[in-house]
Amino acid sequence: MTRVCDIRELGSLAALQSWARAHQTTVDYVGPDAEGRPVYVAQHGTAERVARAAGRDPHSHPLVWRSPLERTV
């Protein structure tokens, strides 16, 4: 059995919503991209469509990294 995963980025959130309606599925928020823009996805079978919205992600959190080797007392 061969299984193929078809992932494509659409040009806008409106295009993603249109694709989701045509395939009777929902659009879900998945988080910010590396540039801080909100990312949305819709899935139907093995097909997945992704779109990034314009502007800053209203849900994003600042990246914080703490070294396990440097402990503060």
The contacts of residue 17 (CB under 8 Å, 6+ apart) are 27
- Residue 29: the pLDDT is 94
- Beta bridge partner(s), residue 40: 29, 51
User: For residues 41-60, b (16+ Cβ closer than 10 Å) or e, as one string?
Assistant: bbbeeeeebbbbbeeebeee
Per-residue pLDDT 10s for the chain (73 aa) are 677 889 999 999 999 999 999 999 999 999 888 888 899 999 999 999 999 998 887 776 666 777 778 766 5
Whether residue 49 contacts residue 42, with contact meaning beta carbons closer than 8 Å, is answered with yes
Domain residue spans in the chain?
A: 1-73
What global pTM score does this model have? 0.75
